[in-house]
Chain A
């Protein structure tokens, strides 16, 4: 298994541009999520999905959209990039939503985004 993959690894955008960060997993995980990590801070949840066709907002959803048309893919869209969105973005997945407490989350390698 490739696990959780993210593309691109690095990206530079100009203010106002849009782009999509890709995330895919081949473990048939139902739960997927996006986090951002800023220097000196922990990870903050942006959006998450408990299965295909179902998404919900996390702690910092503004400026980001998500969709989940398949179990494998969970892209994150930046609608109009702003310098405040400069960050490292991590995608994660796990077997089941909530109920089973032994669900560990598997994280991708991250996308480093700079908005100028």
Chain B
């Protein structure tokens, strides 16, 4: 089966750096996504990793280690608008079945 774990909640201060971890177990791993979801809104795409290493995109970076089944999302220079849930999602491909499985998300609270 599939299993995706991430912390339920985190708190950080405006201007600081925060790292949100995600561990996963799946037999058909073929990529990992991070999505941001503000309260009452739809998830929006942040990043994609399929190879080991760090992908940087502005203030946000995402890291993947396939051998460890581990990823993290790094947010720098935190802003109040970064208060949201961050969803880790794994692409699972087996035979003709190709789908994305989401974790339950990490609610990030930014304090002034």
Real complex partners, A and B? no
